[in-house]
A and B are shown apart, each in its own frame.
Chain A
Amino acid sequence: MLLQVKNLHVSINGKEILKGVNLEVNKGEVHAIMGPNGTGKSTLAAVIAGKSGYEITQGEILYNGKNLLDMPPEVRAQEGIFLGFQYPVEIPGVSMTNFMRTALNEIRKYHGQEPMSAKDFLARMTEKKDLVELTSKLTNRSVNEGFSGGEKKKNEIFQMAMLDPQLAILDETDSGLDIDALRIVAHGVNKLKTTENATVVITHYQRLLDYIVPDFVHVLFEGKVVLSGGKELALELEEKGYDWIKKETENH
């Protein structure tokens, strides 16, 4: 098993946000997490990626059988976890090229590999840029600086392609994308899919799931996974809305 989240309880400033989340992801799978605003989807993603400021009060997360919560965030990334941010930050003055080269070589170093040669690196840049139809104009600029909302999201998928993670968590990568961009991003994600890696997409729209077809859909509601199912669940959700979930959970 690639990722195993067991009974995860997380608080921010004493307020409990995640209230016993369970989630299992195997290699080769695509999972979708849906749920109303403010139920803790981004929180779950951030805790898996190792962002500070969260208090883990109960539970554990295993990644390839290793205790993830013991690892600093960069080690998690080096171990193959990638987070596509809901709100990517800008880093003025740091070129995308330099940023990616540093990241890629740090990951290679962790695995005992030599830094990638400039030639191979540039070839990889070109290949992956084309995958998400990102123009060179963007990759020559500073990290996310002055990028439009949609460009930032494409840039996340570009980085994912560059770093070739084992587990990619994409937090609302589809929001803010126009129809064409959505198709391009989804195509990119599908292209990167292998039997050795897995993707978790967090989304509000079933539309994305027409392009990235999930094996499992989970509904996160008030800090818990209250419902899991196949891709039909997304359609059902869209039809019935979250009130339906509310009633369902109240009945139990």
Chain B
Amino acid sequence: MAQDDKQLIQEVTQSEYKYGFVTNIETETAIKGLTEDTIRFISLKKAEPEWLLEYRLKAFAKWKEMKQPNWAQLKIPEIDFQEIIYYAAPKRKKELESLDQVDPELLDTFNKLGISLDEQKRLSGVAVDAVIDSVSVKTTFTETLSKHGIIFCSFSEAVKNHPDLVKKYLGMAVPPSDNFFAALNTAVFSDGSFCFIPKGVRSPMELSTYFRINAANTGQFERTLIIADEGSYVSYMEGCTAPQRDENQLHAAVVEIIAMKDAEVKYSTVQNWYPGDKNGRGGIFNFVTKRGICKGDHSKISWTQVETGSAITWKYPSCILSGDNSIGEFYSVAVTNNHQQADTGSKMIHLGKNTKSTIISKGISAGQSQNSYRGLVKMTKRATNSRNFSQCDSLLLGDKCGAHTFPYIEGANKSSIIEHEATTSKISEDQLFYCQQRGINQESAVGLIVNGYAKEVLNKLPMEFAVEAQKLLSISLEGSVG
């Protein structure tokens, strides 16, 4: 590359940063295919330090040796990784002038979810006049956080402003070579969120990606890193109940959580990516690696997830219980309808003494969908006096769908206890009729019964999220009975 060109690129990338990523309206050079040059290009574009480029390249080298996993109970169409565009500078969605230009089906769903008009506009990319309110909310939000020394920003900003923290913790929970999709993410991740809670600080509010400045369009390879230093606490929320459409079909995100001594992290997520049409066409493939490491003694990590979207979901939020007396929890509701496929569950790896883990998984399948729970509970030799309790329930609506449970258990010491319970049930005609006889129509009845079934998990969500998630469950199952 000529010296002039390099300089030009440098200038472009830097000026881009100066004015903020999201203000850049036009699409940047998009390159197809995955080679070392692609990765160098991404890193250069983002003006990353040398070590991060090296880190990406190493991951890429590993990835080339790996094979796409095929052990999940999923039918995954062939993905041509050379056909994917790995870097497009965040482009602004075309702004629409009014809600009349938005897909009526989408608006219908918004209304059912009870999303306000302004919010509907924001979500569907309609220009909003009255943004003052939300801007001031965001500013107050950031100010409050910084008063407590909490860092909450985009991943790119963290690389620029807190490189030491990023360098220290990146890959601690999910090493670059962990699995095929994690390696891919490490090589090409675009942006994501970074969060650091300093020693002894309890975050005064729920951290929601919704409020993160520059949250727009983090892309298909999202990277999240959350660090809770000694004795700190944070509740972190990701995703939203509104349906998310995206032109990228493949999503492979990585989320890492690190909890130091006496720290606690609650991570809640609602995933509602486009599941495809009734025949399963066009939906998103969601291959996510989420892992937390309870590094210090008495630390705790809880994952709570409500999964309703995507054509294919492959996701196992896990905990490595490394500190003594540490606690890992996983609460999950996964809904599949029409032709959706989900293979989800958790891994609890007990390394420390007296460690405890709980897995509560509620699968709901309707239509012709397939819903699998896959979990691993491992007690190592050192993890004496540890306990796990797993409860995996499946609810079937109709007789064309499937529910599967694959619990794997490895116990290497005698003082630890692993308990596993599983049930499969159906919504009975009698239950539906009972509701109808009280004046509740069939669809509301299904919603009511399903929410009752999932209550144990929904109760773990932050309040406002829980209310939305309830509505979402009902909507996801519309038309699945009768």
Contacts and interface: CB of A to CB of B under 8 A. Distances in A.
Contact of A49 (B437, B448, B451, B456): B437
B433 A52 contact: yes
Contacts of A106: 439-441, 444
B391 interface: no
B455 A93 contact: yes
- B contact face: mostly helix, strand, loop, or mixed: helix
B441 A94 contact: no
B363 to A, nearest CB: 15
Interface of B: 428-431, 433-442, 444, 448-449, 451-456
A20 interface: no
Interface string A62-87: 00000000001110111000110100
Interface stretch (A26-34, A96-104, A130-138): A96-104
A89 B439 contact: no
A241 to B, nearest CB: 33
Contacts of B434: 85, 88-89, 91, 143
Given A52-B429, A89-B430, A72 B452 contact: no
A142 B438 contact: no
A83 B441 CA distance: 16
B213 to A, nearest CB: 37
Contact of B438 (A51, A72, A77, A92): A77
A110 interface: yes
Interface of A: 49-53, 72-74, 76-78, 82-83, 85, 88-89, 91-95, 98-99, 102-104, 106-107, 110, 142-143, 159, 163
B422 to A, nearest CB: 16
Given A92-B453, A93-B451, A94-B449, A99 B431 contact: no
Nearest to B442: A74
Contacts of A78: 439
Contacts of A93: 449, 451-456
B252 to A, nearest CB: 34
A98 B448 contact: yes
Nearest to A98: B448
Contacts of B452: 91-95, 142
Contacts of B429: 52-53
Contacts of B435: 91, 99, 103
B479 to A, nearest CB: 16
